[in-house]
Amino acid sequence: MENYVVEKKIGSGSYGNVFVVHSKIDPSKRYVMKRVPMTGMSAKEKKSANQEVSLLKTLQHPNIVSYRDSFMDNNDKDLCIVMTYCQGGDLSSRIKAYKGQPIPEEQVVRWFIQIALAIEFIHTRRVLHRDLKTQNVFLTKTGQIKLGDFGIARVLNKTMDMAQTSIGTPLYMSPECCNSKPYSFKSDVWSLGCCLYEMMAGKHPFSARDLQGLFLKIAKGQYGPIPPTYSSKLRLVVEKTLTTNPQKRPGVTSLLQNQFLSRQIIDYG
């Protein structure tokens, strides 16, 4: 902590508090710092969590939030993760700002491809996102996508019991995960599909009054119609990603090889 100065708290997420900090050496450099209490973890577990974040730090891609630094603080009680500060807000708020007006297809495709490229990048490095949602997709001032919070869910799930951590949002949860099957690369693809649907329809594909109702809709893959303003090719991408059977659901690389999308990667990627 001796290297950073806290400017302000910007939120408290499912795992801990989030702050804007700046570097003591160069105060013009601002970052976001997550402070995660590691209550109830053994020294060995703490070490392994720290090592895992160190591994995540090696992942660098134009469309992901880079993890810059991590260390234990507060008498070894908190894990602090320092990352890029994304000042353009998150995709969830950006979608809400359209107030139900359709977002132009070109914009949707541009965002979607960048998120998919980020997911492909981490997947080819054998890292799962595990918490993909529009609130974890950030925009830079110039409108570039930066995917955040990848891989941390696993580090942190070890720190708390599952019941507590799954109070994060279940809206993006895949049918297999609703059935307590292990999380896989395909589960990230499902969440990616939920994000795409949200960009097109302005709302979540699956929602219900209670968890039971939600899981039932997810299991059936039952979502409302997508506005007809979008091309059938883009709507087909939603259908593919929201395939309930994970074996039949495409991986992110095969999704991006789809002619319709790969043609546009040349323009936007």
- Residue 265 C-beta: closest distance to ligand ADP, Å: 25
261 near 255, Cβ under 8 Å? yes
Binding mask 119-148 for Mg ion (x = CB under 5 A): -----------------x------------
In the residue annotation, 131 being an active-site residue is answered as yes
The C-alpha atoms of residue 124 and residue 25 are separated, in whole angstroms, by: 35
Q: Which candidate in 78, 90, 131, 188 is catalytic? A: 131
AA identity, residue 117: L
Amino acid at 146: K
Does 172 contact ligand ADP by CB under 6 A? Answer: no
34 labelled as ligand-binding?
Answer: yes
Q: Does 198 bind Mg ion (CB under 5 A)?
A: no
Smallest distance from ligand ADP to CB 223, Å:
23
**Contacting range for ligand ADP; rule: CB under 6 A; set: 1-9, 84-92, 159-167, 244-252:** 84-92
Judged by beta carbon, residue 131 or residue 176, the one nearer Mg ion is 131
85 touches ligand ADP (CB under 6 A): yes
Lay out the site mask for ligand ADP across 37-66 (x = CB under 6 A, - = otherwise). Answer: ----------------------------x-
**Binding site residues, Mg ion, CB under 5 A:** 136, 149
